[in-house]
Structure 1
């Protein structure tokens, strides 16, 4: 199994490196850009994050933007999924090892129906992105020529559905803060991408055939709604009277802006306001939302809403001296253990990362909370940032080591902490020795 996890990790690394090499060609850039920044950009695209150290709008040509878009699509769809689909197109069978790799890459529960599921993913992706592109193009046509509007519509639709947050506008979507239709279109594209293909598939089957909705899908839908509402509530409470952020807006704009921010703070990197103007309380809570992320099998990162939901259900039931039961179904012990493992490993990685990057890139302790925000954004493959004072992410201020570390966090967030950890750790030999038990005081 470790080899499969390593294959998934290496596939993303190689794709990012290839993207950086292609972006280094003169025709792709408007100005010279250091290779570390190109690698950062390619990784951010492949890992569908959205953190930028070179401005997509002003530093890359139309060809460079096209390569970034392809990297986003490949990263969101899944490199291994893309390879499997290409095999199907040319009439080749996917062998058992290939199916196992696909299963882990897609977070699909079983081997049964995997190829059919892969085809369904491609159809869902194409249809949703096409509808999003049409709606966005109609909006952009009000401000620009038809050809520019079409390109902007396609780019932002793909970027939104894949939860990437890349924009071909210099200051992201800040110029469209009050555009209700555009805000809503971007948000629903992000939500659909973050729900995961398994949930979308089940919802579609339920609508067509009235089939049963699994516990997984129910938990994802409920947890997603709770996180969105909680994000809006917290931002409204702490930012309502903040003149630097939304304090000067009317009531409608406040709700629209916080809704857009809540959606993006969990999974994507678009922004309609300067996030550096948020109060510390908002930034800290937003960091927690980014760590949680979205659902498994989708285009977002983080520890996933299902992991947090399982842990909360287990804690609640344990306090009442009951087995972890939800919707009249008991959650298996193995799932609870896996959720604990993911949570502990993720917490360890984030704490260590904060200490390392704080010591190496914030020696004057001038932007610790912004650094925490950036780390959680990279780990959750979110892409929002307090910024460098201009149009770039805070990572633009980092040293080469700092940028490489953020790159590592993006890979970690994209493949998942468990896959990443098992890919780099050597599998221990199984032994059939049972040791005596002894209690520990807690």
Structure 2
């Protein structure tokens, strides 16, 4: 038995998978306690499991309204799971180990390397310290700004509480809100302060901690932005601006969303809806009322997601950039994929293609399965599945209507989306030995 457990825990991907699963089960159990919910009847385990998975996987899809169904204690349990899920349970464990002055073992460093998607363990503990400092600092500033604004609409204590909750939720790209009645930020659609603070929290959480560390160190004249940071910043900026322009055009005359808003409010709403599908799950207009073209655009954005080492999901901006670079190189007849005058290793392009095809296959399979158990429009089902895989949390209204089978499918998609399809594959699959030979080269006709 001891050898069996040792073999299971020998793989960093398996430790991550089992660790996340254990915390989800613990959270689901806590949410079933009488002090966690406002109803007299104990919630079904499938509903608490769904909520716990959504919180740990920083998704934001909910089967019950967070602001009214759960008590303050229940909401704090959810908030704790969001923080653990956003930073990673190994980050939290390492933080406690550092506080207790305990040595971090090689295996723990390897797990952290897997969790942050790093290429080596060099400087991984310094990165953990930076992650915690940056996250808590940004969340604190966001909470203060939110609280100041909310004080105009509610008592001071409630304003501070909601400020903290939404700052942590938005920075971790979780999308949970306690505004009540599934409202999210609809009541603040034209409020500049709420929208700008929310978007900054979402963007900073989605850039990735490596990029944040790079941006902080850029003050040093001897330091330059890494290729990774340049790719993340440029692609993130392009997607946000391009998405806002397209949404502004598509929804300008939609009487159920942006039509009744003033010109400035339409710009705010367009940018918010462009930022949020990059795994945040916050909305300031009714997602179900958007035009189908806009909804499909959000599906594409949710599939792309945030950036590596961040609190977001999806195939990641760097993966998308590598694919675009490969297409451009092929069209131009070039052998190498070049980004910012740097050549990408062929292995990186293969990995980008593998991640994308894995993700595409998972979304297609889950969409087909969900279509068999839920009698809803195809776009609504595709939207729900992609939102779960990208750990986004946006919904066209299907989540609360899901059957038990549908909830299980979405739970699995949230779990896979948070860990990443490759991490799960490495955890489940056997360890491959080194190839001792290469097959003869063959040729097929492509295109």
TM-score grouping bracket, smaller chain normalisation? over 0.9
Instruction: Provide the C-alpha distance between the structure 1 equivalents of 2:438 and 2:420, rounded to a whole number of angstroms.
Output: 31
Instruction: Provide the C-alpha distance between the structure 2 equivalents of 1:6 and 1:204, rounded to a whole number of angstroms.
Output: 33
1:310 to 311, 322, 334: 322
Instruction: Provide the C-alpha distance between the structure 2 equivalents of 1:398 and 1:86, rounded to a whole number of angstroms.
Output: 39
Instruction: Provide the C-alpha distance between the structure 2 equivalents of 1:96 and 1:87, rounded to a whole number of angstroms.
Output: 14
Instruction: Provide the C-alpha distance between the structure 1 equivalents of 2:349 and 2:63, rounded to a whole number of angstroms.
Output: 39
Displacement after TM superposition at 1:208 (Å): 4.1
Matched, 1:344 2:357: yes
Matched, 1:146 2:156: yes
2:423 to 407, 419, 425: 419
- The superposition leaves residues 322-359 of structure 1 with CA deviations (integer Å, 9 ceiling, x where unpaired) of 22112111111111110011011111111111111111
Displacement after TM superposition at 1:427 (Å): 2.8
- The superposition leaves residues 236-278 of structure 1 with CA deviations (integer Å, 9 ceiling, x where unpaired) of 1211111111112111111111111111111201111111001
Instruction: Provide the C-alpha distance between the structure 2 equivalents of 1:195 and 1:304, rounded to a whole number of angstroms.
Output: 10
CA contact (8 A) 1:205 1:211 kept: yes
Matched, 1:24 2:32: yes
Alignment of 1:71-82 (within 5 A): 71-82=81-92
Match of 1:42 in 2: 52
Matched, 1:396 2:395: no
CA contact (8 A) 1:2 1:427 kept: no
Instruction: Provide the C-alpha distance between the structure 1 equivalents of 2:163 and 2:31, rounded to a whole number of angstroms.
Output: 22
Matched, 1:168 2:172: no
Alignment of 1:197-212 (within 5 A): 197-212=209-224
Match of 1:297 in 2: 309
- The superposition leaves residues 360-394 of structure 1 with CA deviations (integer Å, 9 ceiling, x where unpaired) of 212xxx3211111111110000101111xxxxxx2
Matched, 1:137 2:141: no
Where 1:201 maps in the other structure, the secondary structure is helix
1:357 to 367, 370, 374: 370
Displacement after TM superposition at 1:109 (Å): 2.8
Instruction: Provide the C-alpha distance between the structure 1 equivalents of 2:24 and 2:228, rounded to a whole number of angstroms.
Output: 31
Instruction: Provide the C-alpha distance between the structure 2 equivalents of 1:199 and 1:429, rounded to a whole number of angstroms.
Output: 34
Where 2:69 maps in the other structure, the secondary structure is coil
Match of 2:242 in 1: 230
Match of 2:347 in 1: 334
Shift in CA distance, 294/62, structure 1 to aligned 2, threshold 3 Å: same
Is there any run of 5+ residues in structure 1 with no aligned partner, and where?
A: 388-393
Displacement after TM superposition at 1:429 (Å): 4.1
Matched, 1:88 2:77: no
Match of 2:122 in 1: 112
Displacement after TM superposition at 1:318 (Å): 1.9
Where 1:207 maps in the other structure, the secondary structure is coil
Match of 2:14 in 1: 6
RMSD: 1.3
Give structure 1 regions of 4+ aligned residues with deviation exceeding 3 angstroms: 428-431
Shift in CA distance, 424/370, structure 1 to aligned 2, threshold 3 Å: same
- The superposition leaves residues 35-80 of structure 1 with CA deviations (integer Å, 9 ceiling, x where unpaired) of 1111100110000000000111110000000000000000001111
Is there any run of 5+ residues in structure 2 with no aligned partner, and where?
A: 1-8
CA contact (8 A) 1:81 1:106 kept: no
CA contact (8 A) 1:267 1:380 kept: yes
Displacement after TM superposition at 1:436 (Å): 2.1
Q: What TM-score comes out, normalization by structure 2 length?
A: 0.95
Where 1:298 maps in the other structure, the secondary structure is coil
Matched, 1:276 2:288: yes
Match of 1:441 in 2: 445
1:55 to 65, 90, 102: 65
Where 2:282 maps in the other structure, the secondary structure is coil
2:257 to 245, 252, 261: 245
Q: What TM-score comes out, normalization by structure 1 length?
A: 0.96
Instruction: Provide the C-alpha distance between the structure 2 equivalents of 1:431 and 1:202, rounded to a whole number of angstroms.
Output: 37
Instruction: Provide the C-alpha distance between the structure 2 equivalents of 1:375 and 1:412, rounded to a whole number of angstroms.
Output: 12
Instruction: Provide the C-alpha distance between the structure 1 equivalents of 2:250 and 2:18, rounded to a whole number of angstroms.
Output: 42
Where 1:266 maps in the other structure, the secondary structure is coil
Instruction: Provide the C-alpha distance between the structure 2 equivalents of 1:244 and 1:319, rounded to a whole number of angstroms.
Output: 42
CA contact (8 A) 1:374 1:385 kept: yes
